[in-house]
A and B are shown apart, each in its own frame.
Chain A
């Protein structure tokens, strides 16, 4: 009836790595945000899997928290994105290097 726990765990790992890969390769900040969401969802999936493995509901509670966090983070991230687009007229993350050491 149920899948064995390593399968969703491996899926979570694959999703997380995809997210990291997206972070490293994508310039466009919208895609960067999406990559972060994927990583968060991977973490959420791992919580569910862990809850299943040990028969404990805490994993599901944590998932609710993660969703809340993801929603808040996304709202904040999109606002920052809009501000950045107004200021730099681009969504290229590499252009947002104004805080680097000037020397």
Chain B
């Protein structure tokens, strides 16, 4: 367990080596260094996890103090790693799924000229993400937080020679940065009011000093929440995520599905003691989550790019996590994080596996009938889709979504539950729409090439996990197992399985089935395929654009900002000084004409001037 510090350091080391020596060591060495650094970190994490289960440390917390970074009177920042069940869960997910995605990338990125650069960025991301989840101090957490933001920017714009990718990278960076300003303000508020940013000390001080529902805890929680909303692509800061799909597909799988975008969920779960003091903010989280999951699910129905379908589904599923957080179901949110990380990584990787065989085609309407041509990708995608749609019993997503819906039902607000169940129905429709369009019907494009073991192994392992990990936590009618929430108890408190009426459970089971049936019916009637050619009506266009947030922000924020920039480009404030100088220069030009060098003309002027002066003296 004392090797904990190696977990974030190893990927950082890998990133350093690859960043400095990358182009000179060749593809093979880059792949080995990149994958091994994360892989060894994963092995250490697993070892620590096994030790943890056998002999949990006192209080189920392991604190590793490395050194003191800042030491001021009354305020100090320690570089310390804080491992508790919550951090353990995140670390395991990041390192294990990270290793699988690295392995996948070694084959997927085979022909890319930026091979070693890719692994350097990816390793750096893993290091920053691990720092984020293991941080014992909010300042260190913020360092990791910004680190993953930078890596996201670098990887979205990985193919920077296309300026559209660069624009997408900038958009993702700027939108999350706007959210981070609020988060930084929240950190400053917490540090000045509570005197410490060490997470546990801060939380203890908050619950000791602040009344529940007071102004300060509401404000601090709201500011932290805005940071989380930006990072996790929730309404109203969600617009960057669909564009972030410009990056390579493994990046979308690791950063924009499995790990980084769930950092907001982690932040809220980590500081949930503070959020419990802020009931209004909690309500806002639940409503925002419900709103996001509906908007994103509707947008998912209209996309034609397979990665954009998945991007909107990510948004929607994180909406579920926020909905769970908002009703105080911390372990349900983290459980959905776990299953989502698995099945969404699986979906993205299989989408990448499909498009790499189709010359990097991502438009689902140019695919078709791939079920027989790419059976491996088909089964992987189907399992992922079933899990995303929460197909009862056989998929992991079912158990976590059922847990969330049950907890939301217990929360006294039927509208939130209705949003959740509608979202579940829509989720099944849009993902199986993609399944039917891509894998069924006539073959439109013949795939080329073949898969190597480095593609198939991650898909197989993730598919296996997507089928089975749901059994860690089962609803009451399936035995009511509580392995997962029991593990998290030390971090998030005991999760009471609220008794849920049978009808509600049944609705949760039937919604995905109904969704799949609707998707199938529309597939049979040719409705989906017609979307490719038919120009959508205004409502369809609105949904396709993700409910027009981009257009609204363009009018409200981007254009005013750009016109302000255009106006300020020529320094209007400087007009005062440059105007004076200009007037002096113009006057100088006029007066210069009188300086002819002709003596007699000067004399004439002097005479005229003298006469005028005398005349004025005499007659004035």
Contacts and interface: CB of A to CB of B under 8 A. Distances in A.
A24 B596 contact: no
B444 to A, nearest CB: 75
B597 interface: yes
B191 to A, nearest CB: 65
Contacts of A23: 600, 603, 607
B600 A94 contact: yes
A97 interface: yes
Contacts of B596: 97, 100
B618 to A, nearest CB: 14
A103 B604 CA distance: 22
Interface string A81-103: 00000000000011011111101
Interface in B574-616: 592, 595-600, 603-604, 607
A20 interface: yes
A98 B597 CA distance: 7
- Chain B interface size range: 10 to 19
A27 B603 CA distance: 12
Contacts of A94: 598-600
A16 B345 CA distance: 107
B225 to A, nearest CB: 67
Contacts of A32: 599
Given A20-B607, A24-B607, A96 B595 contact: no
A20 B603 CA distance: 9
Contact of B592 (A20, A96, A97, A103): A103
Interface string B438-471: 0000000000000000000000000000000000
A103 B589 CA distance: 10
* B interface: dominant SS: helix
Contacts of A99: 597
B607 A96 contact: no
B600 A24 contact: yes
B603 A100 contact: no
Interface in A12-69: 20, 23-25, 27, 32
Nearest to B595: A101
B407 to A, nearest CB: 85
A68 to B, nearest CB: 24
A77 to B, nearest CB: 13
Contacts of A24: 600, 603-604, 607
A96 B603 contact: no
A97 B598 CA distance: 6
B599 A100 contact: no
Nearest to A94: B598
B592 A101 contact: yes
Given A20-B607, A24-B607, A103-B592, A93 B597 contact: no
Contacts of B607: 20, 23-24
Interface of A: 20, 23-25, 27, 32, 93-94, 96-101, 103
17 contacts: A20-B607, A23-B600, A23-B603, A23-B607, A24-B603, A24-B604, A25-B600, A27-B600, A32-B599, A93-B599, A94-B599, A96-B599, A97-B598, A100-B595, A100-B597, A101-B592, A101-B597
Given A27-B600, A93-B600, A96-B599, 6 more contacts: A24-B600, A24-B604, A94-B599, A99-B597, A100-B597, A103-B592
The 10 closest A-B pairs by CB, nearest first: A100-B597, A97-B597, A101-B595, A93-B599, A23-B603, A101-B592, A100-B596, A24-B604, A24-B600, A20-B607
